[in-house]
Amino acid sequence: MDIWNWFLTVTGSNDMSSAWYGFWSGFGADLGEFAIVGGLISVYRQHICHARRCWRRGRYQVEGTKYRTCRKHDPSASGEDDDPTAEEIAASYRRARVALHRPHLRGSGHRSERGDEE
């Protein structure tokens, strides 16, 4: 079996029942899937941070350039990590809960306002 015959058999291109039937029902059917995956990869690459080896989503447009960067690589950012801590989130939740559900307790010094357990 020569190389050409092997290639035609693997790709389904040799005449099985009609011209090219084996190809389009086998290997050729995957060409559309390769195109879809390639398109998704190119769209993804356009929306990630342009800094080298950074896979974060590029949300910030750098002024005066065509580049998009993540929060870590944004040159206009302060450079500090502004993510809230778990304690800050819990305190904010307690304040919002008191303000929304118990407006009569605002400013009363109630223990839920001080952060104590109920």
Q: What is the pLDDT of residue 38?
A: 95
Do 74 and 90 reside in the same domain of the chain? no
What is the structure's pLDDT at 42? 92
Structural domain of residue 102, as residue ranges? Answer: 84-118
What is the number of structural domains in the chain? 3
Q: Are 90 and 104 part of one and the same domain?
A: yes
Tell me which amino acid residue 46 is. Q
Q: Give the model's pLDDT for residue 59.
A: 86
pTM exceeds cut of 0.75 = no
What integer best gives the mean pLDDT of the chain? Answer: 78
77 and 89: one domain?
Answer: no
Query: Burial level of 12, CB count in 10 A (0-12/13-18/19+)?
Result: middle
Pair (76, 106) in one structural domain = no
Q: Are residues 39 and 53 in the same domain?
A: no
Please write the tens of the pLDDT for every residue from 31-81. Answer: 899 999 999 999 998 888 888 888 888 888 888 888 888 888 888 776 565
Question: Do 18 and 56 fall within a single domain?
Answer: no
Tell me which amino acid residue 108 is: S
- Regarding whether 57 and 38 lie in a shared domain, the answer is no
Q: What pLDDT, on a 0 to 100 scale, did the predictor assign at position 37?
A: 96
